[in-house]
Amino acid sequence: MLADSSNRPTLTIAVVGSGPRGISVLERLAVRLADGELADHSVRIHVIDATEPGAGRIWRTDQDEWFTMNTVVGQITMYSGVPDEGPARPGAGPSLGEWIAQRATTHGEPLLGADDYASRRRYGQYLRSVHRTITDHLPANVELSEIRGSVTSVVAGSHGGYALELDRSPYLIDADKVLIATGHPQNAPDPQEAELLDFAERHPGTTYLCGDSAADMPLAVEDIAPGSTVGIRGMGLSFYDVMLSLTVGRGGGFSRTRDGRLRYVPSGLEPKIVTGSRSGLPIPARGRNQKLPDHTFTPRHLTKEAVAAARERRYAATGTDRLRFNEDVLPLLLKDLDDVYRAAHTASGSTEPLPPLDLWALARPFRDARFDSPAAFRDRLLDVIREDLAQAALGNVEGPLKAALDVLRDIRNVVREAVDFGGLHPDSHTDEFQRDFVPVNALLSAGPPIERVEQLVALIESGVVEVAGPATRFTADEAGGRFRIGSPQVAGSEHSAETLIDARIPTPNLHRDVSPLTRSLIAEGLVSEFVHEDPLSGRSRATGGLNVTMAPFHAISAEGTVRYGLYALGIPTEHARWFTQVGSGKPGLNTLFRQDADAIALDMLRSARGASRTELATLSAGRAS
């Protein structure tokens, strides 16, 4: 650790990536420093982001308004405490909804209600405001600098700490502690993507776009010609972003008819959009929000105690506490969903019979169906979507279906207790959890606002968008020199397309991540891949995820040692942990998002003072309990 000119020891921290995860750690560092931690030190914090310090790439503030969040503004905060009578500052600040309400009063900006959805750009502006309050309320012994640039390499110092090389001034930074919070990766093409890219390169007039944030894709008129055909692979959240970029982004709009339905008003600059996925079902809408910002769900069946008891039973029976998801976890989860489903139905006073709650039937409504024409499939698809919209309008408390599906979001932390850090048998994690459950969970629990799905219906009715069908195939036609899109379950569904877009967000994978930072961390042996291992058979399965300890999430080196000054948080650690995409806390609650950030902040500051590992572990466990 260095010393400054006043002979005080200096702690230097580098935060690489300043999206929500990076800012969350900065906020907790600021709270602890303001409370007197390391008051006898000088602390230097470097915030490094390649796109926009204080917002990051996904939430950058120059993107278009139609890129929307899928959580209501009243349930989102980056502050670890609610506002008090003082100014907004680390530990006491407004939620996104409260901040928007303040801005409506002070700056005349558009007002959103607590149950409305903000654009990603608006959230980026909020993140920037949080970042400013952090900077404005740091103690005198703390200095924070922003660097807009990329870290190209990290090397362990011979006397501790790390040397970070950047692609622009100051080019080199020495840091005692380094946090990797880089968010969504940009991956090298997999074999199928490489074939499609090669096909597009060899056939003039065709374009293939690998999965990425739609805000970073070339989707303008000069990139994709009006009237041409665009195939879109995947119908999750990013599909809606691409869809709107190619319609609203080209001057189209929506209007309400007298009966309240949306109608699309074209600009004439749209392409024809043909889309599809494995299920053939666009991700359904989230239920109309009826929950307070500090709502919590208390499971009756899938509890932490139930998970611990299941581990004890597994150990007694097999000699290992690795769980089987379909036997030890899923039945309990389904019981909690069913309880909420039936309770909401009873509370509604409905006398109609309640159909069984079958997640797989909801997620795969066309699994065994065959359709004799695209029109027949279109009619059936619209029936399914409209029924889902009717269920969403009932709300996520009063509506039985959406109330039950919301439990999938509310119960994530307990699922993590079961699956994180190799908590499942490797085969169960790969086959039962990752392959079977995760796609169904994502489809049914992470949907867009109701209005987005209404817009999709209007675009299908107008003929601008066509869903090919279930089990959609996306191939390259060498003879025709174009991409082919079609469903084997829908007769006559094949289309030829000049452009093919993968609208699936890339999965984190250390070996495919093309960033110089990741390549350097691997080459230097500072990080390793998380591998699922069966302690009994010795079989293992590589995951592609970055290997970290439990909180405070130190990186584990290629030699298997813990790198105590190097931390990783969020999406880079996906696979070691589950559903790391969470990008905010909830007002008034000590959420896992907040606990993760505070665990790292605590370790950075206490270890700088020389606290023992045992003390740090005890403090961390006590806070998170």
Segment 366-374 shows an average pLDDT of 97
Phi then psi dihedrals of residue 348, to 5 deg: -75, -15
Domain 191-283+464-502 has CATH 3.50.50: yes
pLDDT tier at 611, thresholds 50, 70, 90: low
Segment 587-611 shows an average pLDDT of 93
CA distance readout (Å), 33 to 143, 387, 594: 11, 52, 16
For 2-186+520-624, CATH number out of 3.50.50.60, 2.130.10.10, 3.40.50.300, 3.40.50.10190 equals 3.50.50.60
In angstroms, the CA 234 to CA 283 distance is 9
Residue 557 in this model has a pLDDT that exceeds 80: yes
Q: What is the pTM of this model?
A: 0.95
pLDDT at 4: 60
User: Rounded to the nearest 10 degrees, what angle do helices 330-348 and 400-410 cross at?
Assistant: 140
Segment 530-548 shows an average pLDDT of 91
Q: For the chain, what are the domain ranges?
A: 2-186+520-624, 191-283+464-502, 304-369+391-445
pLDDT at 625: 28
Contacts of 246 (CB under 8 A, 6+ apart): 219, 224, 230, 270, 271, 273
Describe the chain by its helix, strand, coil percentages, rounded to 5: 40, 20, 45
384-404 per-position pLDDT tens digit: 999 999 999 999 999 999 999
In angstroms, the CA 388 to CA 286 distance is 9
Segment 271-299 shows an average pLDDT of 96
320-357 per-position pLDDT tens digit: 999 999 999 999 999 999 999 999 999 999 889 999 99
For residues 486 and 493, the answer to whether their CB atoms sit within 8 Å is yes
Give the residue with greater pLDDT, 158 vs 10.
10
pLDDT at 429: 96
As a whole-number percent, the residues of the chain with pLDDT over 90 amount to 93
What is the helix (H) or strand (E) element at residue 499, kind and residue range? strand 499-502
- The beta strand positions in 97-184, using DSSP E, are 142-148, 151-156, 162-166, 172-175, 177-180
For residues 443 and 282, the answer to whether their CB atoms sit within 8 Å is no
For residues 206 and 480, the answer to whether their CB atoms sit within 8 Å is no
pLDDT at 596: 98
Segment 529-535 shows an average pLDDT of 92
Give the residue among 625, 601, 616 at the shortest CA–CA distance from 32: 601
Give the residue among 441, 443, 459 at the shortest CA–CA distance from 451: 459
pLDDT tier at 415, thresholds 50, 70, 90: very high
Give the residue among 134, 153, 129 at the shortest CA–CA distance from 145: 134
Residue 615 in this model has a pLDDT that exceeds 50: no
State the sign of the Cα–Cα–Cα–Cα dihedral 508, 514, 519, 521. Answer: negative
- Mean residue pLDDT of the chain comes to 95
- The C-alpha angle 237, 238, 244, rounded to 5 degrees, equals 100
pLDDT at 624: 34
Give me 423's structure tokens. Answer: 């908590």
pLDDT tier at 6, thresholds 50, 70, 90: low
pLDDT at 158: 83
pLDDT at 282: 98
377-386 per-position pLDDT tens digit: 999 999 999 9
- Contacts of range 96-105, beta carbons closer than 8 Å, 24 or more positions apart: 96/122, 96/123, 96/126, 96/584, 97/72, 97/73, 97/293, 98/587, 99/126, 99/129, 100/73, 100/126
Phi then psi dihedrals of residue 166, to 5 deg: -115, 165
pLDDT at 579: 95
pLDDT tier at 5, thresholds 50, 70, 90: low
Residue 257 in this model has a pLDDT that exceeds 50: yes
Residue 276 in this model has a pLDDT that exceeds 70: yes
Residue 149 in this model has a pLDDT that exceeds 80: yes
pLDDT at 422: 96
Residue 610 in this model has a pLDDT that exceeds 90: no
12-40 per-position pLDDT tens digit: 999 999 999 999 999 999 999 999 999 99
pLDDT at 612: 45
In angstroms, the CA 121 to CA 102 distance is 17
pLDDT at 614: 47
